[in-house]
Structure 1
């Protein structure tokens, strides 16, 4: 149902853009992005609420809790951040700085990958 609403909003935005011209394009895009953001935030809040209810009732944990996607996303983010860290480390301390930067990246990823989910009280 939400995707149908967003499709209608997109169609309305495109129609308005055709009628108003390119001068209002930025405002129309901002308005549409705000509506998409609201939908995403509402869906995340609903998923978190459902996950919290599932945890209290002894249900299955949420896919947001320690899932492969979370670990993979964390790894990607740390690798992206490793690029400037590597450059800074190498510029400041040469090869030793590069090794320290990558040891930190690997250490953070190892700790995150091996952490255990603690049961909620």
Structure 2
């Protein structure tokens, strides 16, 4: 870290010496060039730190951010919402105007179908995230 600070200090001293020699006419160009060099160093440091952090992650999880959800299973949010909505939907679907018992079965078949599809999708996502061995 001291070598980087020493290099930066030398660059700043050289820029100040050049300003003394060239005069105030070139001050903005000298400052711009110094700031460009400083910015490129900062960018390089940021890229190095990002690469270090990325190397710490497991390769299978690197490209995919963690989905927010309830603390238990990832699909538990959908299950809770579908059960909460299932109560009023049951009342509406089972009324005689909406079809009675057939409407009730259609309503719950839709709820079960949505939860089943979400569970299969989540299972497929977990299988994709699992690291592959030599035998796969």
Report the TM-score, using the length of structure 1 for normalisation.
0.46
> TM-score w.r.t. structure 2 length?
0.41
